[in-house]
């Protein structure tokens, strides 16, 4: 595919959000108590459009960088070996190169959805440990065709990941959702106040960029009206996002100092803009300083 045919990947630094129009949206939002107390954000996203891998980790308040550490090890492993081809290979790679390096006190969840082509369709390998979640919604009728459960296989506490499964994605279209438990706080608030419809209805009826816009509007206009934990959330159309520019990005897992710089940036409305990947190279230091780590490899 020619470079000019790629879908542009954009980030909004002042909101720590990512989007690919009509294909993907992701965000990391700091919890209300964490913001008041000046803590880091323990939720972290890794979005890799080169290897078609989408992952989330949720670290503890004491060690928020634990989530970034585990996702950076995943990124490094993919850079060395490429994406594994099936569920068994994914399990071996995660246990040997991702879970194995996590220290006991650096507990974190780990949820990952990896795509691969099979003929004219797509398959997805889901790897999951802890109380974050991965869900697949059929876009034709809004039904949930796959959902992870909660377990105690947190990285750092469990010697290996157990739940790794492979599924054939609906040919008629679907949406894959990855979320930390903090997203439940936001979503339940939205439902109680009739701000948004059911997630299944949004996935069926709305383009992905509208879902992102509506969630951003709720967070912006209702900030301080409800308590929530750190929020890590991503939703993507598997068939559309495979044509995104082959870049990767890690967002979150921040230190208190990075959070302070982010709060200073988010208070300046002039920085509330979407930056395409073509402009990242000139702002690497600024992006990394607030917990956004882009990569072209």
Whether residue 258 has pLDDT greater than 90 = yes
How many helices and strands (H and E) does the chain possess?
A: 9, 15
Whether residue 256 has pLDDT greater than 80 = yes
pLDDT of residue 2: 43
Q: Which has the closest alpha carbon to 11: 3, 22, 19, 1? A: 19
Element (H, E) at 168: strand 163-168
- Residue labelled with tokens 């080169």: 50
* Domains contained in the chain, CATH given: 7-295 (3.60.40.10)
CA distance 58 to 111: 9
* Angle at 111 (CA atoms; ends 106, 113), nearest 5 degrees: 145
Q: Which has the closest alpha carbon to 135: 77, 199, 78, 191? A: 199
Q: Considering the entire predicted model, what is its pTM?
A: 0.94
- φ and ψ at residue 229, rounded to 5 degrees: -75, 175
CA distance 118 to 264: 46
Mean pLDDT (whole number) for 10-18: 94
Q: What pLDDT, in 10s, does the model give residues 214-230? A: 988 898 889 888 999 99
Mean pLDDT (whole number) for 177-201: 93
* Angle at 47 (CA atoms; ends 10, 52), nearest 5 degrees: 110
CA distance 155 to 134: 16
Whether residue 271 has pLDDT greater than 80 = no
pLDDT of residue 1: 44
End-to-end CA distance of the chain: 17
pLDDT of residue 201: 93
| CB-based contacts of 35, cutoff 8 Å, min separation 6 | 259, 263
Per the CB < 8 A criterion, the answer to whether 118 and 112 are in contact is no
CA distance 297 to 197: 38
3-class secondary structure, 223: coil
Q: What pLDDT, in 10s, does the model give residues 110-162? A: 999 999 998 878 999 999 999 999 999 999 999 999 999 988 889 889 888 98
Length of the chain: 297
pLDDT of residue 103: 83
pLDDT of residue 12: 94
């Amino acid at each position: 595919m020619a470079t000019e045919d790629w879908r542009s990947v954009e980030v909004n630094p002042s909101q720590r959000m990512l989007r690919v129009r009509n294909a993907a949206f992701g965000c990391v939002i700091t919890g209300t108590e964490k913001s008041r107390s000046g803590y880091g954000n323990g939720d972290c996203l890794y979005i890799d459009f080169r290897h078609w891998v989408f992952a989330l980790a949720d670290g503890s308040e004491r060690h928020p960088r634990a989530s970034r550490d585990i996702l950076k090890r995943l990124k490094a492993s993919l850079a060395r070996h490429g994406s594994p081809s099936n569920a068994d290979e994914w399990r071996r790679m995660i246990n040997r190169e991702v879970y194995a390096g996590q220290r006991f006190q650096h507990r974190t969840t780990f949820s990952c959805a990896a795509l691969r082509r099979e003929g004219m369709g797509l398959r997805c390998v889901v790897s999951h440990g802890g109380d974050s979640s991965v869900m697949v919604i059929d876009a034709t009728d809004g039904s949930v065709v796959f959902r992870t459960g909660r377990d105690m296989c947190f990285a750092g506490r469990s010697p290996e990941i157990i739940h790794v499964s492979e599924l054939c994605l609906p040919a008629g279209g679907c949406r894959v959702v990855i979320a930390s438990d903090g997203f439940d706080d936001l979503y339940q608030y939205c439902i109680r106040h009739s701000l948004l419809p059911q997630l299944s209805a949004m996935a069926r009826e709305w383009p992905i960029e509208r879902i992102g816009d509506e969630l951003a509007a709720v967070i912006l206009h209702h900030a301080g009206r409800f308590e929530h934990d750190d929020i890590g959330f991503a939703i993507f159309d598997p068939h559309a996002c495979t044509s995104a520019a082959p870049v990767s990005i890690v967002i979150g897992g921040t230190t208190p100092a990075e959070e302070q710089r982010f709060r200073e940036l988010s208070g300046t409305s002039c920085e509330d803009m979407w930056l395409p990947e073509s402009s990242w190279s000139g702002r690497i230091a600024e992006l990394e300083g607030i917990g956004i780590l882009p990569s072209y490899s």
